[in-house]
Amino acid sequence: MLLVYAAVLIATKVKGREGEPVFRGATLGAVAVLALVVQYVSFFWGCHHLAKGKGQSSGMILVGALGPLIQFILLLVIHSLPDHHEPHLLPGSSPRAKRSRESSVARIVRFRRNAFLGNLIGLIGILIALSLVFFPTGLAVDPGNETALAVFIFAVGYCGVLTGCWWWAKAKAWTEGIVGIGLLPLVILFIPWVRLIYVEMPGLLPAAMVMMPLILLVIMFVLPDKSGIQKRKTWERD
């Protein structure tokens, strides 16, 4: 979100051929304020759980209200604090050795957490991109610039969904190659003669690019979980 805030500040300096601003100042200001608010909320939420995960007091994160620079320093401090929940390993143990001591349940939970974050970020990006296309905000003086911004945001969201589904496949003990379903619209571009269908129907590629990540999410949702964690939870309740 800080990168978004910096991008907004840079966009205010961009001018067209006639010396006029390319983006509207009022809309950029609203986006900058929204980005800063989301950044603060994300920082406090993330640092609170990071401090709890390391067995440290979360009261120190209140200092982050002083600004992004203090937040960055506070992140370094929290990461440098000892982890009271970390298991004691033998001297000279590597991070790979720590990962090898991870239980199967903890590993699946980590996979699911990564899948949730990837899919959440991806879906938000896709929704923002679609809203910019179908409901123009007037962010840019030239509508083409807003469309280009929507394409960039969609690409980020598209990659986020694929990454989230990749982790989801690992969590359900399926092969990660199933994520290739989301790339099928792009595969057609490399098939001679067949790709001419996009020339005849230019709107087919954007529609397919929007639908395939959603179809992939539905497929990942309905696939049975072969990791065994559900059966283990049922056995524990019994």
Per run of 10 residues, the mean pLDDT along the chain (length 238 residues) is 68 63 62 76 84 79 80 80 60 50 80 92 90 76 73 88 91 86 81 78 84 91 80 46
Which residues 6+ apart lie within 8 Å of 42 measured at CB? Answer: 1
Range 223-228, long-range pairs (CB < 8 A, 24+ positions): 223/172, 223/174, 223/178, 224/172, 225/171, 225/172, 225/173, 226/172, 226/173, 226/174, 227/104, 227/108, 227/171, 227/172, 227/173, 228/104, 228/173
Write out the two tokens for 185. Answer: 């619209």
Distance in angstroms (rounded) separating the CA atoms of residues 162 and 126: 12
Confidence at residue 234, expressed as pLDDT on a 0 to 100 scale: 44
Distance in angstroms (rounded) separating the CA atoms of residues 166 and 114: 9
Confidence at residue 123, expressed as pLDDT on a 0 to 100 scale: 92
Confidence at residue 230, expressed as pLDDT on a 0 to 100 scale: 56
Confidence at residue 90, expressed as pLDDT on a 0 to 100 scale: 40
The dihedral of CA 21, 22, 26, 32: what is its sign? negative
